[in-house]
Chains A and B, each alone.
Chain A
């Protein structure tokens, strides 16, 4: 039986009008439309958020927290994704946005840039001593981790086992605030200001880690209006661009930014789930071994393309680059210090990444083989145009659903039409027969 998955998206049937947009947008074929309502196949969903982007009815709700939910913490620290800064005019300094975050109700803020620099250096250190299979795959995007666990279970050992900047930043924030306030770290809420819902899954499931240092996440788009209001009321702080965020930290928000510190000839950067899937297919076939590292983002252009942001991803990327030019280059931490912490074991994940392969057609391979033959037989009678009218995203997915007993063959209108035509033909023959019999009787 499949394990229980945590998810960060909820489908609300009341608001769904069954338009099938989400079913067509889903890169992992995790959506079906039954009785004019979209429903999610929990074991297939990897929380990429493509469905949120295309839903016109707001029927898909991200399970991020609202500001009001944060009252359960005695003290809250906001840790903004660098994608947050790219939502605003690039003249506005991160210092002003950080100040505005405090006005919105956070007790304190933690800058992500130092943690980004720590992770870049820790990755270099890890790679220099790594003797396993190449390429290593970045594990900072939770959707990528889930994709590998579900679709590429044999590649889990190639996920880079280094903590993400947001985790390191949360740990730093908790340690600092605990010292300052005297509160135990678990009563301090570390809140990620997130561009996507997938971070919620990473907090709940903490893959590769025995725990997450983050407590929850609030989405950029939920916060945006309040924050924009607060921003307009704060005076530009003197610190301005010298506020602890750096260009190297900003670069984590978009494609190609992070591996900037790694040797370029050995690195690939890929964004957009369909592109990542093509690359991982190649990795699984033993290609791309000459690359030591692949940076993978589920969203187009990276975190700036997250489904819970407000700015267009390409505009946000341009803004992030411009802002980076104004910020100190970085790094914001000393290499020696990172080496020391690395030796203390503060960067390498403490658990292996588990795989969670999709449930096969049957747990018993002999029965799976029979079902696969049946699937192909059904598939050969389908039109092959993947029209979606049956409520499955492709004829192949539909044939599988039929074999698994989750859909009826008659849901395919082409199949039904052919069936009915045959029945009508049968009926016509019977009518003719009856007439001729009547004729004999007379």
Chain B
């Protein structure tokens, strides 16, 4: 039998703080309707929210692709934006390039990317300066 998979795409606009967080809320709702284990839903919710906010804060625009199979939930985030100069540095806890206004909004603790990685079973990031960033994570569903 063919592998069952559900896919959905969410467009996200940079600096659109009014709608920021909607994609991760929609992802969370979808996973619940699919009957994904609540602990997995929560890990994906945290990771996708952090990724969505990174996109909103730094990039021009981008999209989040959700893929659900009976084995795993995968999130792929692709943006057009400034990219990340030094990915290894960005992965360090506490490192942040957030502006004072982002910090005002409660972001910029330098926990975004580390938090995404912490909640994922597989994590990949690739970035090209002045072009954009591609992030993909996978959270396995308990067998």
Contact = CB atoms under 8 A, between A and B. Distances in A.
Given A366-B70, A369-B6, A355 B28 contact: no
Contacts of A370: 4
B46 A372 contact: no
Contact of B35 (A281, A282, A368, A376): A368
A357 B32 CA distance: 8
Interface string A121-161: 00000000000000000000000000000010110000000
Given A153-B38, A286-B115, A363-B35, A372 B30 contact: yes
A393 to B, nearest CB: 15
Query: What size tier do the contact residues of chain B reach?
Result: 20 to 34
B5 A369 contact: yes
A373 B6 contact: yes
A361 B115 CA distance: 30
Interface in B1-47: 4-6, 8, 21, 24-25, 28, 30, 32-36, 38-39, 41-42, 45-46
A72 interface: no
Given A281-B28, A361-B35, A372-B30, A286 B49 contact: yes
Contacts of A287: 49, 106
A365 B45 CA distance: 19
A424 interface: no
A154 B8 contact: no
Interface in A4-36: none
Contacts of B141: 365
A159 to B, nearest CB: 14
A61 interface: no
A360 B21 contact: no
Given A285-B46, A372-B30, A154 B41 contact: yes
B97 interface: no
Interface in A30-87: none
B68 interface: yes
A400 B33 CA distance: 10
A402 B24 CA distance: 25
B69 interface: yes
B33 A365 contact: no
Interface in A382-437: 400
A284 interface: yes
A372 B33 contact: yes
A369 B38 contact: no
B121 to A, nearest CB: 17
Contacts of B21: 281-282, 285
15 contacts: A282-B21, A284-B28, A285-B45, A285-B46, A285-B49, A286-B42, A286-B45, A357-B32, A358-B33, A360-B32, A365-B36, A365-B141, A369-B68, A372-B33, A400-B33
Interface of A: 151, 153-154, 281-282, 284-287, 355, 357-358, 360-363, 365-366, 368-370, 372-373, 376, 400
| In the complex, the 10 A-B pairs of residues with the closest C-beta atoms, listed nearest first | A360-B35, A285-B49, A286-B46, A154-B38, A366-B4, A369-B6, A369-B4, A365-B70, A368-B34, A154-B42
